[in-house]
């Protein structure tokens, strides 16, 4: 009886087929584990970036409160920040920060004959708020003054030390 080549007998073939099925199952389980790991890492990275953004926003607000608090108390307007838009109870827009910030827009009433609120003034750098449209038959509010350094002045750009039209 001749000797068969290595792994050419029935038992070797059956064992090889068994290990092949295990290898395919392992490969499938590995692919699922890898996909789960990628989703887990993405979720963890997203959560970390959201946490960092929230912390940065808290620090930013704390810093702005520390800078703006004394100025708001002494002068009635912040050093940095935009003015609030006008409302029905307070139609004029708020003033922007002394150094940086846009004035708030005036309120636009819907009641006939009610005038529009005035726009808030900007500080050194910023745009004045737009005046609110008046109700039917009433005048609109006056737009706020632009900043002294860089602000939109109609269609022209105004810069520190430069007066438009001169």
Per-domain boundaries in the chain: 1-76, 77-166
Q: Over the stretch 15-67, which tens digit does the pLDDT of each residue have?
A: 888 889 999 999 999 999 999 999 999 999 999 999 999 998 889 888 888 98
| Of 76, 117, 115, 130, the residue nearest 98 (C-alpha) | 76
Distance CA 150, CA 125 (A): 5
How far are the Cα atoms of 15, 46, 81 from residue 60, in angstroms, in the given order?
67, 21, 12
More confident residue, 16 or 147: 16
Distance CA 108, CA 103 (A): 15
Q: Over the stretch 90-146, which tens digit does the pLDDT of each residue have?
A: 999 988 888 888 989 989 888 888 888 898 888 888 888 888 888 787 787 787 777
What's the pLDDT at 155?
A: 36
> With a threshold of 0.75, does the pTM exceed it?
no
What's the pLDDT at 35?
A: 97
Q: Over the stretch 83-97, which tens digit does the pLDDT of each residue have?
A: 889 998 999 998 888
């Amino acid at each position: 009886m001749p000797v068969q080549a290595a792994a050419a007998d029935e038992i070797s073939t059956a064992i090889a087929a068994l290990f092949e099925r295990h290898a395919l199952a392992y490969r499938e389980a590995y692919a699922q584990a890898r996909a789960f790991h990628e989703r887990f890492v993405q979720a963890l990275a997203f959560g970390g970036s959201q946490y960092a953004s929230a912390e940065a926003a808290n620090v930013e607000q704390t810093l702005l409160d520390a800078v703006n608090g004394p100025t708001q108390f002494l002068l009635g307007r912040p050093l940095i920040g935009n003015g609030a838009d006008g409302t029905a109870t307070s139609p004029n827009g708020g003033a922007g920060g002394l150094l940086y910030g846009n004035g708030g827009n005036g309120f636009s009433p819907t009641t006939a004959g009610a005038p529009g609120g005035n726009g808030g003034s900007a500080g050194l750098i910023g745009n004045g708020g737009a005046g609110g449209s008046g109700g039917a038959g009433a005048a609109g509010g006056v737009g706020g003054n632009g900043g002294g350094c860089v602000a939109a002045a109609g269609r022209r750009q105004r810069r520190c030390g430069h007066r438009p039209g001169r």
